[in-house]
Structure 1
Amino acid sequence: MPTTQFTYDPFDPAVMADPLPFYRVLRDQYPVYYLEKWDTYALSRFSDIWNVLELNDGTFVASEGTLPAAAVLAQHNDGPVPDPPLHPLPFHANFDAPIYDEVRRCTAAPFRPKSVPKLAERITTLANERLDELLPRGRFDLTQEYGGIVAASVVCELVGLPVDLAADVLATVNAGSLAQPGSGVEVANARPGYLEYLTPVVKRRRSDEGHACPIVDNLLAYRLPDGSALTDMEAAVQMLGVFIGGTETVPKIVAHGLWELSREPDQLAAVRADLGANVPLAREEMIRYCAPAQWFARTLRRPFTLHGTTIRPGQRIISLLASANRDEREYPRADEFIWNRPIPRLLAFGRGQHFCLGAHLARLEITIMVTEWLKRVPDFQVDVESACRPPSSFQWGWNTIPVEV
């Protein structure tokens, strides 16, 4: 890629098709890159992003959303941006403390380190039920039909939906993440397709119907600083992070990670030699190498200087987590998949206040799905020509990985 005329824009069709070459140039030559059109700075190096996301002093806020669409970024700010109004309450990640912390706690119960291991038996059952159905067919989609259905089934149970809706939930979330070149994906928006599933769940629990659901029940009990409660729609919107994040990311990491292992027979054999000890190591490399999320945004409320560039209140930064995952300064031979690579620090789940709520569950799901696959599938081949990685400004992952067993 010629650097004399280098430009980077996350919504550029060329970037959406393959951002990795752009990330390398950014890391090497433009660690704080200004996107004039969006009045936004792109950060691409691991250590810079690590240090920025660590700050929790009000310098950076998510008032415009953690993944603002192009239409939002096109509006340039003249100074700090206030929190959104309380009603209708947008996704809680748009707020700073205390609202962000309080609503996040409402949804956190199933994802705490002590709670997540209780789900292991159920996830193992779901994974093997899928394999029982898929393996006799000989050919199927590793991303959607294996990892996708298992992950969506777990999400359904966590938010109080029947598991037989898993395929529909998966299709809805996948469709919501597609974006046309020139525009972005705004996960914080209350997309009608998502809320058609979630709002009825909230309504049933408010009427004291159905099974107890800690996430919903906590949201219904929550009161905003002005003393008001959440409407059904507002409570459903707060569940979008669980609904979308829990459904979309893990299947792509599992399928892509297994594909990478299959490319390197020696690595695959090494992992198989002791699944209990080695899958957790390979899992971390799968997360680093295969995580599909590309970036998240913050808006400044205070001036901040990095590499001699001062960013003003109202301007934004986008932290290119996918670039950080490939930063040679943090990971030697970063563009290679090395199953037992030492990974003392990882940014794929974010860092600081907005660290991924489901990180512990994601790790458990990946471990179980990879382990059960390797236990039951002695040999498999990916149909490389038919694999599909749609262009995306955000979830740039392998949506389709056909596999033959």
Structure 2
Amino acid sequence: MSAAQQPDCRPGRRPFTYDPFDPDVMADPLPYYRVLRDEHPVYYLQKWDTYALSRFDDIWNVLEINDGTFVASEGTLPSAAVLAGHNDGPVADPPLHPMPFHANFDAPIYDEVRRCTAAPFRPRNVAKLADRIRVLANERLDELLPRGRFDLTQEYGGIVAASVVCELVGLPADLAPDVLATVNAGSLAQPGSGVEVANARPGYLEYLTPVVARRRAGQGSELPIVDNLLNYRLPDGSALSDTEAAVQMLGVFIGGTETVPKIVAHGLWELSSRPDQLAEVRSDMDANVPVAREEMIRYCAPAQWFARTLRRPFTLHDTTMRPGQRIISLLASANRDEREFPDADRFVWNRPMPRLLAFGRGQHFCLGAHLARLEIAIMVTEWLKRVPEFRVDTAAAFRPPSSFQWGWSELPVEV
């Protein structure tokens, strides 16, 4: 961010403003987060009738509340078009049909549908995937390393993560490049409006709806996620259509594809730029990579914020928020909060970290957190085993402006 763009709260200067859809914020939100944490921990965005929470402890405590005070009826990542409509009181759950993504519902629907998709992501089942992920990582390295130069985000981490997602949802692994490209395209943000998930959804469903249709017809091998969704009944006794069942798989399809590659690539870049830390991690990778992974997640996770809508009044820092208003929890700001992480803007591979918010907290805690941690650890370990020296082409690295997935989408590396 240039000096002219820096947020400035000094007397006589232009007043500080924050908007997640502002082009300057989308280009580099970190300076804004610092001002928010220090000066405006509960910041009101009048245009969107929304409050931004920026401090770690505030967000930690708010996300722990699971009594119906906060709901996701308007989505966990509402677009500017949704936020532009101000609510006059509490917002009800959406209608059952056509059923939107289950995160939009409160309990019991949210909890029940989440359980339908949860089985493959439980720790014991995730552990069984370790050997397969290791094979996928080494297959990619076999192909990439002889080339000498390639993209660390897309061609290494991206293809491995997308291959795992394909296998979990019943797609052939050779579709991984297409799935990765589709998800990346759907995550591109427009200045002033952010990510329009609804526009990208038809492209995602082209992959997922046929999978559901095949399982409904009894074709193919068992797929716990799909089979559980087909057997699920809503409170009115109705079943999900093929499209509705496919919509419930979007969290796995999108979240499992786009986040891990950015953390792996960015984390390896941070280590490569600190030879002393890289040497310490290499000295005992079995013990040290899982530790470094947590700092990579804190420092490099691209997700910026998630939203909730109030159904009950809530007061924080002497500010009372009304039913119908929204909050956005700035997770990326929380992970740079000096109150929780001393010297938070510095990457420290073995930083003590008793708490972390990159995967959220409470009812909406990331379903794939165990899998993401496993994938990151394996991809980093296999890379460090096989690549003694590497250099990131920093001049060619690209991090597109985004209101949500602000991460290095292109990270060329030379080996």
TM score, norm. by length of structure 1: 0.99
- The reply to whether residue 30 of structure 1 matches residue 60 of structure 2 is no
> What is the rounded CA distance, in whole Å, between the counterparts of 1:15 and 1:211 in structure 2?
46
Counterpart contact for 1:65–1:188, Cα < 8 Å: no
Q: Does 1:130 align with 2:155?
A: no
* Contact 2:162/2:177 (8 A) holds in 1: yes
CA RMSD of aligned residues (A): 0.8
1:222 maps to 232
Secondary structure, in 3 states, of the residue corresponding to 1:191?
helix
> Aligned partners of 2:111 and 2:30: how far apart in 1?
34
8 A Cα contact 1:66 1:297, kept in partner: yes
Instruction: Quote the offset at 1:113 in angstroms.
Output: 1.1
1:119-150 Cα offsets, whole Å, 9 max, x none, are 00000000000000000000000000000000
**Counterparts in 2 of 1:189 and 1:213: CA distance versus 1, 3 Å:** farther
Deviation at 1:190, TM superposition (A): 6.9
Using the alignment, how far apart are the partners of 1:336 and 1:187 within structure 2?
Answer: 33
Determine if the alignment matches structure 1 residue 112 to structure 2 residue 122.
Answer: yes
Deviation per residue, 1:351-375 (Å, 9 max, x gap): 0000000000000000000000000
Checking the alignment, whether the CA contact within 8 Å between 2:158 and 2:258 is kept in structure 1 is yes
- CA 1:313–1:85 in structure 2 vs 1: closer, same or farther (change >3 Å)? same
1:114 aligned counterpart, secondary structure: helix
CA distance in 1, matches of 2:38, 2:176: 43
Alpha-carbon distance in structure 1 between the residues aligned to 2:198 and 2:274: 39
Kindly indicate whether the alpha-carbon contact (under 8 Å) linking 1:67 and 1:188 is maintained by their aligned counterparts in 2.
no
On the 8 A contact 1:12/1:182 being kept in 2, the answer is: yes
* Separation in structure 1 between the aligned mates of residue 375 and residue 295 of structure 2, nearest angstrom: 15
Gaps in structure 2 of 5+ consecutive residues: 1-5
Match of 1:150 in 2: 160
Partner of 1:367: 377
Deviation at 1:189, TM superposition (A): 7.2
After superposition, what is the alpha-carbon deviation per residue over 1:30-82, rounded to whole angstroms, capped at 9, x for unaligned?
Answer: 00000000000000000000000000000000000000000000000000000
How far apart in 2 are the matches of 1:179 and 1:330? 30
The one-letter code sitting in structure 2 at the alignment partner of 1:270 is: E
- The corresponding residue for 1:272 is 282
Aligned mates of 1:371, 1:47 — CA distance in 2: 32
CA distance in 2 between partners of 1:183 and 1:254 (Å): 28
Which residue number corresponds to residue 330 of structure 1?
340
Identity of matched residues, %:
86
Instruction: Note the 1:217-256 alignment, pairs <5 A.
Output: 217-256=227-266
CA distance in 2, matches of 1:212, 1:175: 30
Whole-angstrom distance in 1 between the partners of 2:79 and 2:72: 13
Shift of 1:112: 0.4
Match of 1:403 in 2: 413
Deviation at 1:185, TM superposition (A): 1.8
Q: Deviations over 1:161-206 (max 9, x none)?
A: 0000000000000000001100122447771100000000000000
What amino acid does structure 2 have at the position aligned with 1:343?
M
1:344 aligns with 2:354: yes
1:58 aligns with 2:68: yes
1:320 aligns with 2:324: no
Q: Which of 354, 359, 363 in structure 2 is aligned with 1:353?
A: 363
What corresponds to 1:47 in structure 2?
Answer: 57
One-letter identity of the residue aligned with 1:255: A
Give, in whole Å, the separation in 1 of the partners of 2:258 and 2:203: 15
1:193 pairs with 2:219: no
Amino acid at match of 1:123: I
- The count of corresponding residues between Structure 1 and Structure 2 is 405
Q: AA paired with 1:166?
A: A
- Counterpart residue number, 1:209: 219
CA distance in 1, matches of 2:385, 2:405: 29
Residue equivalent to 1:304: 314
User: Is 1:174 matched up with 2:184?
Assistant: yes
Residue 128 of structure 2: SS of its match in structure 1? helix
Q: Which residue does 1:88 correspond to in 2?
A: 98
Q: Name the counterpart of 1:392.
A: 402
TM-score (norm 2): 0.97
**Residue 9 of structure 1 pairs with residue 29 of structure 2:** no
- How many angstroms apart in 2 are the aligned matches of 1:108 and 1:170? 22
CA contact (8 A) 2:189 2:196 kept: no
Structure 2 Cα separation of the partners of residues 190 and 166 of structure 1: 17
- Aligned amino acid, residue 222 of structure 1: Y
Gaps of 5+ in 1: none
Supply the distance in 2 between the matched residues of 1:262 and 1:225 (Cα, whole angstroms): 53
Residues 259-305 of structure 1: CA distance to partner in whole angstroms, max 9, x if unpaired?
A: 00001000000000000000000000000000000000000000000
Which among 77, 93, 97 is matched to residue 87 of structure 2?
A: 77
**1:369-398, CA deviations, whole angstroms, 9 ceiling, x for partnerless residues?**
000000000000000000000000000000
Distance 2:59 2:220 in 1: 43
C-alpha contact 2:186 2:200 (8 A) present in aligned 1: no
Give the 3-state SS of the residue equivalent to 2:44 in structure 1: strand
Q: Deviations over 1:324-372 (max 9, x none)?
A: 0000000000000000000100000000000000000000000000000
Partner SS state of residue 33, structure 1: strand
Residues in 2 aligned to 1:167 and 1:80: alpha-carbon distance in whole angstroms: 42
Map of 2:151 onto structure 1: 141
SS at match of 1:115: helix
2: CA distance between counterparts of 1:396 and 1:69? 16
